[in-house]
Amino acid sequence: QVQLVESGGGLVQAGGSLRLSCTASGRTFSSYRMGWFRQAPGKEREFVTAIKRIYSWSATNTYYADSVKGRFTISRDNFKNTMYLQMNGLKSEDTAVYYCAADPRSSGTYYHPGDYEYWGQGTQVTVSS
């Protein structure tokens, strides 16, 4: 069982920055595929970004939704069992509850919510225009 706890959300003006953190319990954090998703009111949960687990053979370690490319950066610190989402150039359309997710399996996509087994409780990000 893995528990995920997000932090770092808040209210920011358009063009500003926020950094979200997701801290995981357990000793196998590095072996989990990790991702960030978001859900705005009245909308479905959508993929934001993902980072592969250690020992992945793919040359591509991170993935981003087109809407956040060049503005958001995902990273992980396996020693601290923590994943980060640095969000720059925030826009009003980035307003949502942000969730971190983790999955231990080698199969599954990085972008589909159903392919992640563990979820955090979410943290609100509000961007004012």
What pLDDT shows up at residue 79? 86
Report percent pLDDT > 70 for the chain: 95
Q: Do strands 10-13 and 72-77 pair parallel, antiparallel, or not at all (unpaired)?
A: unpaired
* pLDDT beyond 70 at 4: yes
What pLDDT shows up at residue 54? 67
Nearest CA-CA partner of 4 in 87, 123, 105: 123
What pLDDT shows up at residue 117? 95
List all residues 6 or more positions away from 13 whose beta carbon is below 8 Å from its beta carbon: 127, 128
Band (73; pLDDT cuts 50, 70, 90): very high
Question: Residues 99-118: what's their mean pLDDT?
Answer: 92
